[in-house]
Structure 1
Amino acid sequence: MIDKLEFFIVLARERHFGRAAQECGVTQPTLSASLKQLEEQLGVTLVLRGSRYQGLTPEGQRVLEWARRIVGDARTMREEMKAARKGLSGHARIAVIPTATYMVTDLTLQFTRKHPAVTLSVTSCTSYQVLSQLENFEIDVGISYIENEPTGRVATVPLYAERYQLITSVGQKFAEREKVTWAEVATLPLCLLTPDMQNRRIINQHLTEAGATVKPTLESNSMIVLFSHIRTGNWASIMPVNLAQTLGFGGNIRSIPIVEPDAHHTVGMIAAPREPHTPIVSALLHEARVLATALSHR
C-alpha cells in the first residue's frame, strides 16, 4: 500500500495525472490503476475524475493527511535502518528563503565536515513554497520565518533575529544619517523583493504601520538583482542587517539602521513534526542548534 499512497501524494501535489505519472516514473494507466486499487482497498472515492483531474473528495483530503503520515514514517524507518547499517549517507534537500541564503554556508560547511557521505542541495524559495515542499516530502528541512505568519505544525529551531537597514549609495537622501525611520525610507525610490516573498510582506507591514504607502519602483525575487540596482545610485532598498554585514557593503554603499520601530523577526530551521525524524533530518536539526548557539555569541 505504501507505493500507492506515495502515488496519491504526488497526484495531490501535481493536480494532473500525466505530470504525477511522470514524477513517479510510471505510465499514466499504471498510476490510475494503482489509485483505483487504493480506493477499493479503503472503500471510498479519493479523486474527483472527469476528462481530467478535478480535485480530491472530502475523504481524499482526509486520506491525504494519513498518507503523508504513513509515508513519512515508512521513509524514516528505511533511512534509520540504512544509517544503522552504513552510517549516515544519502542526499539532503534544504529550501531557504532568499534573505537567509547568506548564512546557509555556516550550516552546510559544518554539516558536510561531520557527514562527508551526505550530499546536499540548497534552493531559494518563498516561505509558502518551503512549507509546501516540506509537507509534500520534496525537501528535508527549510530555513524560513517561524513567526509573523502561520507556519502550520512544524518542528522549529530558532536561528537568529532578522533586523532591517536602509541600503543606499553615497550622495543619496539619508545616506549620511546614523539612523532613519520607516516613514522616511518610504519617501525614497525603492527596489524590493516581490510581494510573494514574506520579507516583502514584513516590510509592507512596517511601512504601512508608519503611515506610508508602499510604492517600489522596481521589484525582483532575486537579491542579486536588487544589489545591482542599488549600486547604480538610482535605487535604495530595505534589507536584513545580517545580510548587509555579510556582503560587506563598502565604497559608495551605505547601510543605515531603520528605527521607529527597531523591528525584528525570527528566522529558523523547520522540519516536519514527525518523531522520530530521519537520521539526516535529525543531524540537520542538531547542526542548526549548534549554529544558533554560535550566532547568539557573535
Structure 2
Amino acid sequence: MIERLEMFLALAKARHFGRAAEAMGVTQPTLSAAIRQLEDTLGVKLVVRGSRFQGLTPEGERVLAWARRITGDMRGMKEELRAAREGLTGTLRLAVIPTALGAVARLTARVSAAHPKLRFALRSATTAELLSAIEDHEADAGIGYLDGEPLGRVVTQPLYTERYVAVMRSDAALARIEPLRWADLATAELCLLTPDMQNRRIVAGHLRAAGVEVAPRVETNSTIVLISHVLTAGWVTILPERAAEIFLRGQPLVARPLTAPDAAHEIGLIAPWREPHGPLVEALLAEARRFSLD
C-alpha cells in the first residue's frame, strides 16, 4: 500500500506517467498497474485518463493529501526506529532561500555538533519552491521568510531579522553618502535578484515607495552573479546584511545600511505541520529554539 501511495505521489508531481515511472525507477506499465490497484483498493478513480495524464479526479485530490500525510508518517516512524538503534543518522534535507544560504551554516553546525552522524543536503529555493518541496516530501524543512506572504499550514521558528544594505565598490560615489537612503539609489545602476524571489519583491516595494524606478540592468537568482557585476561593472546591488557579509572580505566593496525606512523582515525555520515530527526535524527545531542568530 505504501509503495502504491508513493507511486501515486510521484505521478501527481510529474503529471506524466513516463516521468513518474522514471522517478520511481520502475517501468511505466508497473506504475500504471500500481495506480489501478490503488484505485481498486480505495474504490474510486484517482486519475483522469485519456491518451495521456489529464489530472487528478476530485477524489484523487483528497487521496493526495492523505498520501502525503501517510508516507510522511511512515518516513518519520522509520527514522525514529533507526534513531533508537543507532542514534540520529541519515540526511536532513533543507530548502533555503538564496539570501539565507550564508547564515544557515551557523544552524547546521550546531545541529551537527549535537548529532555527529547526521548529514545535510542543502538546496537553494524560492519561498514558493521551498513550501512545495516540504509539501512533496522533497525537503524535510526550509529556511525562509516568516512574514509578508502566506505560508500555509506549517510550523515556524524565528532565527534572525533581515535588514538591507546597498553593496557597491568602495570607490563609488554613493559609498561616500552616510546614512544612505533608499531614495538615494535613484541614480544608481542596479542589479537585483529575479522577481520570483521574495527578497526582490520586498526590495522592489521599498524602492518604489522611495520613488525609485525598479529597472535593474541585470536580474539573476544568484547572489554570486550580483556581486560579480558589482565588482566588474561598478553597479549596485541590494542584499540582506548577512548575505552581503561573506562577499566583503578581501574585496574592494562596501555595504551601506539603507534607511528611510530602516526595513526589517523575519527569517526562520519552516517545518511541516505534523505531530510528532520525525527525529531529524525535531532535532533541527530543538536546536533552533535554543538560540537566535541575531
Q: TM-score range by the shorter chain?
A: over 0.9
Aligned counterparts, 1:65-214, within 5 A: 65-214=65-214
| C-alpha deviation, 1:233, in angstroms | 4.7
SS of the residue aligned with 1:211? Answer: coil
Q: 1:52 matched to which residue of 2?
A: 52
SS of the residue aligned with 1:231? Answer: helix
SS of the residue aligned with 2:139? Answer: coil
**Cα distance in 2 between the residues matched to 1:30 and 1:87:** 36
Identity across matched positions, percent? 53
Runs (5+) with no aligned partner, structure 1:
none
SS of the residue aligned with 2:216? Answer: coil
**Cα distance in 2 between the residues matched to 1:251 and 1:95:** 29
SS of the residue aligned with 1:171? Answer: coil
Deviations along 1:208-241, whole A, 9 cap, x unmatched?
A: 2223321001111111111111112521010111
| C-alpha deviation, 1:35, in angstroms | 0.7
| C-alpha deviation, 1:268, in angstroms | 0.6
SS of the residue aligned with 1:267? Answer: strand
Deviations along 1:132-184, whole A, 9 cap, x unmatched?
A: 11100001111111111111111111101111011111332321111222222
SS of the residue aligned with 2:120? Answer: strand
Please tell me the residue identity of whatever aligns with 1:92.
L
Q: 1:243 matched to which residue of 2?
A: 243
Please tell me the residue identity of whatever aligns with 1:178.
E
C-alpha RMSD of the superposition: 1.5
Deviations along 1:39-69, whole A, 9 cap, x unmatched?
A: 1222221111112111111111111111111
Q: 2:286 matched to which residue of 1?
A: 286
Q: 1:7 matched to which residue of 2?
A: 7
**Cα distance in 2 between the residues matched to 1:229 and 1:131:** 30
Deviations along 1:23-52, whole A, 9 cap, x unmatched?
A: 112111111111111112222211111121
SS of the residue aligned with 1:102? Answer: coil
SS of the residue aligned with 2:55? Answer: strand
**Cα distance in 1 between the residues matched to 2:50 and 2:260:** 56
**Cα distance in 2 between the residues matched to 1:86 and 1:121:** 20
CA distance 1:171–1:87, shift in 2 (3 Å): closer
| C-alpha deviation, 1:7, in angstroms | 1.0
Please tell me the residue identity of whatever aligns with 1:34.
A
Contact 1:161/1:266, CA 8 A, preserved across alignment: yes
Please tell me the residue identity of whatever aligns with 1:31.
L
**Cα distance in 2 between the residues matched to 1:17 and 1:64:** 16
**Cα distance in 1 between the residues matched to 2:170 and 2:120:** 40
Contact 1:191/1:217, CA 8 A, preserved across alignment: yes
| C-alpha deviation, 1:251, in angstroms | 5.4
**Cα distance in 2 between the residues matched to 1:95 and 1:50:** 35
Deviations along 1:65-112, whole A, 9 cap, x unmatched?
A: 111111111211121112112211111111111100111111222222
Count of residue correspondences: 294
**Cα distance in 2 between the residues matched to 1:64 and 1:253:** 50
**Cα distance in 1 between the residues matched to 2:148 and 2:102:** 21
Single out whichever of 36-45 and 277-286 deviates more from structure 2: 36-45
**Cα distance in 2 between the residues matched to 1:226 and 1:142:** 23
Please tell me the residue identity of whatever aligns with 1:35.
I
